[in-house]
Amino acid sequence: MATEPSSQIVIQARLEELRDLAHWVERLAAEFSLPAAVTHRIDLCLTELATNVISYGYPDGRIGAVRIRFWRQRDQILIRIDDDGIPFDPTAYEPPGLPSSLDEAPSGGRGIRLVRNFSDQLQHVAADAGNQLTLVFRNPGNGTASSAPAGVQEPASLKPAR
Amino acid sequence: MELAVSELDAGILGIDLSGRMDIIGTQQIDLKFTALTSTRRAQILVDLSKVTFIASIGIRTLINNAKAQKLRGGSMVLYKPSSQVEEVLRATGIDTIIPIAHDFDAARGAFGSA
């Protein structure tokens, strides 16, 4: 079975490269005829996760590398993010609850909540040197399908996003 | 990102934001936005209609400055976000703590109740 991604990008872990990532998502949307709502969900999740890795993944100041691969399937999109930063499992992170008042609203901590809300599934695997995250986006509309990558043929087994 | 300022009816200060409110865009306007929204008491209408994208870092800036303005006795209303931007604001519960308005009369009413 073919496991080559439909598309991929490698960025250096620097904030300036976030715009390259956003432009890559724009190109995916055009190439695979993604609906605007799906494109926005992907854009938001990748922006939040990449911002986290770039901001906190390399406390020693090293400029790491982040690889993002995209598989377009018939009924879903799979995206896998590999980084070589310090371990961080967003599926184990408990974001603060929704604020009850402006006075009590925390300053930050909303990125992971957004990723859980705007993706359908999120899975984290601790890699030998870094992290591997897999995101699933369902019902992306019609388009050219490719096969799933090894290890994610059964997305139902992934930990549900919250 | 870009930021423009205008004096609106009823003494409301209008701040028009435009562009992509990710960490790069937010850093571009954050200092000016904070100076405008946090240093004196005001009713501030933040026009989001030309904001094409908002990430959590952009929400952080809105929250921090809305809080600072409240401490000064003023208030902030978010104006005309796109459906995608509003979806992100609602997913984080921001709509329950900073009013969102889609027309000027509703914004004026929100200032009255804030």
A129 in contact with B, Cβ within 8 Å: no
- pLDDT tens for chain A, 162 residues: list them: 348 999 999 999 999 999 999 999 999 999 999 999 999 999 999 999 999 999 999 999 999 999 999 999 989 999 999 999 999 999 999 888 999 999 999 999 999 999 999 999 999 999 888 999 999 999 766 555 555 565 554 343 344 444
Q: Which CATH class is domain B2-113?
A: alpha beta
- The 10s digit of each residue's pLDDT in B28-69 is 999 999 999 999 999 999 999 999 999 999 999 999 999 999
Q: Is 3.10.105.10 the CATH number for A7-149?
A: no
Model confidence, pTM: 0.91
Residue count of chain A, please give it. 162
Strand ranges (DSSP E) for chain A? 7-12, 65-72, 76-83, 121-127, 130-138
- Identify whether the C-beta of residue A41 lies closer than 8 Å to the C-beta of residue A118: yes
On chain B, the residues whose CB falls within 8 A of the CB of A20 are none
Distance from CA of B87 to the nearest CA of A (A): 10
Domain ranges of chain A: 7-149
Region for B19 from its dihedrals, namely left if φ exceeds 0, alpha if ψ lies in -120 to 50, beta otherwise: left
What is the complex's ipTM, to 2 decimals? 0.95
Q: Strands B100-101, B43-54: parallel, antiparallel or unpaired by DSSP?
A: unpaired
A111 to B96: CB separation less than 8 angstroms, yes or no:
no
CB distance from A114 to chain B under 8 Å?
yes
Give me the DSSP letters along B42-98. -EEEEEEEEEEEE-HHHHHHHHHHHHHHHHTT-EEEEE---HHHHHHHHHTTGGGTS
Could you tell me which residues of chain B have a Cβ less than 8 Å from any Cβ in chain A?
A: 20, 22-24, 53, 55-57, 59-60, 63-64, 66-67, 70, 84, 88, 91-94, 96-98
With an 8 Å Cβ cutoff, are B91 and A118 in contact? Answer: yes
